[in-house]
Amino acid sequence: MKILIAFCITLFGCAGQVLASSGHSGGETAVNLTGTIFGYASLALFVLASALVIFEEQTHLRKSKPVMMAAGLIWVLIAITYRQLGIPAEEAHNAIIHNITEYAELLLFLLAAMTYINSMDERNVFQALRSWLVSRGFSLRKVFWITGFLAFVISPVADNLTTALLMGAVVMAVAKDNPKFIALACINIVVAANAGGAFSPFGAITTLMVWQKGQAAFGQFFYLFFPSLLNWIIPAAIMSFFVSKAITKAIAEKIVIKLGARRNMFLFIMTFVTAVSFHCFLDLPPAAGMMLRLSYLGLLPLYSI
């Protein structure tokens, strides 16, 4: 689902660039399409699709459906406008092909990353972490800070949604009868996961798109570390004043990671090392490095390291 939404976002973005200023080969003057009726119609389609996304719970319509339809219709309007202005038809064709190529790179990158995430989930890596946390008997305030911190440090390399669900499960387990704490802790987790993902190329789909397109170098993302940290710390510090210091009851839960879990964790980290190396040293798409490391998961036998 997230990949579909990312695809539609890139379609919208590329369509928007075409509508704003469209120049074609041969050095001809750029044509501004924003003031045309098709430009206004495209904007209306975008607003309508965004509204349907916002009201997903009321309409019971998946986010991807209205966004995909609107994206397709916008491209139809662009093609019609090009014909009316006498611009070669291959200009719109080339633009959407370029856009789909970017989406394919994003898809392959996320495919490899999520496969490793799922493999570690199957090996009980995340369940073992959760069982360790709920069996410690920490105070509610410690649980608040620990889950927020873990969300902040895990999200740069793992999927934000997976991170939030994992930490949310910990909160629900240790304080299932305390809705006030659950609300504050889950807000803290979501803020931390999004803040942590902002300073890493792999932390979110948006940062991955920026990195793969070459808009920012790999090292430049880490300039955002302290701003990202402040974006989590300040709201967390304010919310922590409203969190009780009561000691939680330790839950007897023992989950042991399965054979091969450590190998999968090591390969997962090395996957990003390979992706960065492909991009920085070989000038190849990061997705190519991710797919290379993904093959190791299937070729190497399960063993404990």
**Would you state the structure tokens that stand for residue 29, as one six-digit string?**
């003057």
Helix (H, G, I), strand (E, B) or coil at 4: helix
Residue type at 266 in one-letter notation: F
How many angstroms separate the Cα of 212 from the Cα of each of 36, 97, 284, 300?
A: 32, 16, 10, 28
Residue type at 208 in one-letter notation: L
Residue type at 73 in one-letter notation: L
Q: What is the pLDDT of residues 270-289, one digit of tens each?
A: 888 888 888 878 888 888 88
Q: What does the alpha-carbon distance between residue 279 and residue 69 come to, in Å, rounded to a whole number?
A: 33
**Would you state the structure tokens that stand for residue 175, as one six-digit string?**
């304080």
Half-sphere exposure (Cβ direction) of 82: Cα atoms closer than 13 Å: 23
Mean pLDDT score across all residues of the chain: 79
Low-confidence ranges of the chain (pLDDT < 70): 1-31, 159, 248-253, 301-305
For residues 24, 29, 30, 35, the Cα torsion angle rounded to the nearest 10 degrees is: -130
State the pLDDT at residue 107.
84
State the pLDDT at residue 7.
45
Q: What is the pLDDT of residues 137-193, one digit of tens each?
A: 778 888 899 999 999 988 888 767 778 888 888 888 777 778 888 999 999 999 999
Question: Can you tell me which residue has the tokens 């997230």?
Answer: 2
Residues comprising the chain, all counted: 305
